[in-house]
Amino acid sequence: MKHEVLEVIREVCVLREKKAAPAAIPVFKLRGMGKQIARHLARLEIFSLQDLLLHLPARYQDRTHIQPIRQLVPGDAAVIEGVIKNVIAPPRGRTKLMCELQDDTGMMRLRFFHVLPFQASVLRPGARLRCYSEVRIGPQGWEMVHPEFQVISENRPPPVDSHLTPIYPATEGLSQYMLRKLTLHALQTMDQETVLDEILPDSLLQTLAFPTLKEALWFVHRPPRETLVSVLQDNKTIPQKRLVFEELLAHRISLLQIKKTFQSRQGVPLLKHEKLTCSFLAQLPFQLTAAQARVSREIQQDLIRAHPMLRLVQGDVGSGKTVIAALAMLQAVESGFQAAMMAPTELLAEQHYRVFRKWMEPLGVNVAFLSGHVKARARNAVLKSVNTGDAHIILGTHALFQEEVDFAALALIVVDEQHRFGVHQRALFRKKGMQAENCPHQLVMTATPIPRTLAMSFYADLDSSVIDELPPGRTPVMTSVVASGRRDEVVARIREACQEGRQAYWVCPLIEESEVIACQAATKTADDLKSLLPMLKIGLIHGRMNPEQKDKVMRAFQQGEIQLLVATTVIEVGVDVPNASVMIIENAERLGLSQLHQLRGRVGRGAAASHCVLFYQQPLSDLARERLAVMRETTDGFRIAQRDLELRGPGEVLGTRQTGDLSFRVADLIRDSELLPQVHRAAEIMMSAHQDKIPALLRRWFGEKSEYESV
């Protein structure tokens, strides 16, 4: 899911026109800024004054009043002030030191493991100290370990802080003290220069009762002393929301603009959708569910328009997305055009090919297949039929969108399981579409459910349809979480199930980073199982087999000639064998919840009650235990996605530093989701009444990210 969200944003950025460079004040123009500090700041991706001011505190401390020692409780962080009564000096050459500090109400030990000589020289009996740290229970009572301290004079004590103390995300070599100094300079500079000026219209600020950007920035970097730390920490103050709001607004508007651009392109109206689609539906062994019929109608209506469709179909694993794709593709064929569907894996593309041939050949529709593994003569023949228009429906992997593939009349592109495609592949296929004189319609299908909050924000540029219903007659998969030590019991259960005529998967996930090792693990497991279960027909499939071998194994499994299929995660997406009703997943604790959900979705497709066993290695961390419990409790993909997000935290879902630029700077979709309705409304207002302000807004939040262009 993480990648999916990233890709969408990246894609957005690819399409966004490059705007002029922002009038930013480089951070090195600030007072007190040396080269060394600028280098440290660069590591935090702070290059401009604006970057520095949008590098918000991670938390706050209240150092605005001095607390009596007596009133403290372990766990409190506090400022105390007192006189050193006693120093337990370090033995010669050591740097340890402990002193006892007394105020009018009690005594506190200050423990230092490392004092520098100049510190040791001021920590003497009689010295008056002001300290800040957390109170802990030490071996001899309450203590502070390595408190921040200053020696003060009794007659002229310096004033305590007048605002709460910000604690910034830092990096080695850059102290909090330095960051505080820099942000103060930055705030003062901001007030004098024309940076970070207000963009949002007054009327909007008034309606929402928001302060200006500058006021908000002063507040978050230097909150007034009466502000509640806990409210700040939850990001619930108005000025904090004001900042988040602006960032979310910029995102929303950029997505809406892309949609507008896309919709202004000329599309291919696909007007006929009667004969072929009707015969197709008539020959299907089942009726569409109400949800399928609704989504299919939505697509049908998009396709008849002269503007390109850009629609996302979300439907949980097994909800029946393939039929929806087939119907849309037939509408293109019937109108005299071609349609192509791209699948993320060879295995899935081949399965589509098998299914489509069965469906389409009786209708007289020609289906072609192309992947990187189709070689030489066969490949040339396919390319030719695509080019002449003999091939009506073309299925395959991303090989479909390489240079030499030249479609005669492509009018619809379907991307199946789009979250599995890499950024490059998606950018490529979209470009291919855009180059055409008439932009093909695009249908994007995904089984990875995205929590609503994310979906609304990230897919604003796509229309979306949800298949919120499974075909009838399915029984939910029962899931058990089992320690890997109890393998024998599970093996016995598999034997029973297979002897009753059911089929099973045994999945050996990628444990090491290497596919070779994963395949070895699967091969070994298959061998072990063959000797434990000599009466069963056991097959093996993994990513290093060639397409013919894989195809042969999958066919055999489909036809029931293989009872137990040992596999790597190659079967994760799309594989559809309704008679398989048992799934064993090894090392389940190492897989993400979405991946487990996808794998488990391979069973529970027929009428028989299905079972999934999640094997884990002990010891299990609390988090892992909780994640596996989620799998046991629900089979609802949307709930699993939501829990995944909560357990992992949005930082991880959206990608963090290592994946680059795409996480929000100040917003957090889960935490701030309550703002979204207002953001959406404001985006409409901005686009209709304040177009002139939009370029500056987008530049402020995305302007410098030129690497988007290179994707």
Binding stretches for ligand ADP (CB under 6 A): 286-289, 292, 315, 317-323, 447, 471, 574, 576, 578, 605
Pick the piece of the chain touching Mg ion (CB under 5 A) from 353-361, 548-556, 571-579, 618-626.
571-579
- The one of Mg ion, ligand ADP, none whose footprint includes residue 222, by CB under 5 to 8 A per kind, is none
Residue 399 is classified by DSSP as G
Dihedral of alpha carbons 661, 664, 669, 675, sign: negative
* Closer by beta carbon to Mg ion, 344 or else 703: 344
Q: Judged by CB under 5 A, how many residues of this single chain contact Mg ion?
A: 1
Token pair recorded at residue 150 = 């200053």
- H or E element that contains 213: helix 213-221
Taking the least distance from each CB to ligand ADP, the nearer of 354 and 493 is 354
CA angle 555, 557, 562 (to 5 degrees): 130
The binder of 267, among ligand ADP, Mg ion, none, by C-beta within 5 to 8 A per type, is none
Provide the minimum distance between the beta carbon of 339 and Mg ion in the complex, in angstroms, as a whole number.
16
Candidate segments 574-582, 589-597, 621-629, 632-640, binder of Mg ion by CB under 5 A:
574-582
The listed partner (Mg ion, ligand ADP, none) that binds 694, CB under 5 to 8 Å by sort, is none
Tell me if 315 contacts Mg ion by CB under 5 A. Answer: no
Of 267 and 315, nearer to Mg ion (C-beta) is: 315
- Distance separating alpha carbons of residues 642 and 338, to the nearest angstrom: 38
Q: Which among Mg ion, ligand ADP, none contacts residue 239 (Cβ within 5 to 8 A by kind)?
A: none
Could you tell which of Mg ion, ligand ADP, none binds residue 474, using a CB distance below 5 to 8 A set by kind?
Answer: none
Question: Which does residue 292 touch among Mg ion, ligand ADP, none (CB within 5 to 8 A, set by kind)?
Answer: ligand ADP
- Which C-beta is closer to ligand ADP: that of 295 or that of 455? 295
Q: How far apart are CA 531 and CA 696, in angstroms?
A: 69
Six-digit token string for 440:
């093909």
Instruction: Tell me the angle at which helices 176-192 and 35-43 cross, rounded to the nearest 10 degrees.
Output: 100
CA distance 681 to 144: 50
Report the residue number whose CB is nearest to Mg ion: 574
Shortest gap between Cβ of 576 and Mg ion (angstroms)? Answer: 7
> Closest Cα to residue 80, out of 95, 101, 55, 98?
101
Q: Min. distance of Cβ 322 from ligand ADP in angstroms?
A: 3
| CA separation for the pair 706, 703 (Å, rounded) | 7
151-167 per-residue burial string, b: 16 or more CB within 10 A, e: under 16? eeeeeeeeeebebbbbe
Q: CB-wise, 34 or 473, nearer to ligand ADP?
A: 473
- Interface stretch with Mg ion, choices 250-258, 296-304, 449-457, 568-576 (CB under 5 A): 568-576
**What CA–CA distance (Å, rounded) separates 668 from 210?**
19
Strands, E assignment, 530-622? 538-541, 564-567, 580-585, 611-616
We find the least distance from the C-beta atom of residue 549 to ligand ADP, in angstroms, to be: 23
SS3 452: helix
CB nearer ligand ADP, residue 213 or residue 580: 580
CB of 303 vs Mg ion, minimal distance in Å: 20
User: Residue 440: which of 402, 459, 477, 414 has the closest Cα?
Assistant: 414
Q: Which residues pair with 99 in a beta bridge?
A: 87, 110
- Shortest gap between Cβ of 288 and ligand ADP (angstroms)? 5
* For ligand ADP, the closer CB: 57 or 318: 318
φ, ψ of residue 52 to 5 degrees: the values are: -65, -45
Give the span between the Cα atoms of 121 and 158, in whole angstroms: 21
**Shorter beta-carbon distance to Mg ion: residue 82 or 574:** 574
- CB 388 to ligand ADP: min, Å: 30
Binding partner of 558, given ligand ADP, Mg ion, none, CB within 5-8 angstroms per partner class: none
Rule CB under 5 A: say whether 574 interacts with Mg ion: yes
578 binds, among ligand ADP, Mg ion, none (CB under 5 to 8 A by kind): ligand ADP
Q: How far is the CB of 499 from ligand ADP (least distance, A)?
A: 24
Report whether 374 contacts 402 (CB < 8 A): no
The alpha carbon of 484 is separated from its chain's Cα centroid by a whole number of angstroms, namely 30
- Residue 154, CA distances (Å) to 71, 157, 172 in order: 22, 6, 35
Which partner, ligand ADP, Mg ion, none, binds residue 340 by CB below 5 to 8 Å per kind? Answer: none
CB neighbour list of residue 382: distance below 8 Å, 6 or more residues apart:
368, 369, 370, 374, 391, 394
Q: Which stretch binds Mg ion (CB under 5 A): 125-133, 157-165, 352-360, 566-574?
A: 566-574
Q: CB of residue 577 vs ligand ADP: minimum separation in angstroms? A: 8
Compute and round to an integer the Cα radius of gyration of the chain: 31
Residues found near Mg ion in the complex (CB under 5 A): 574
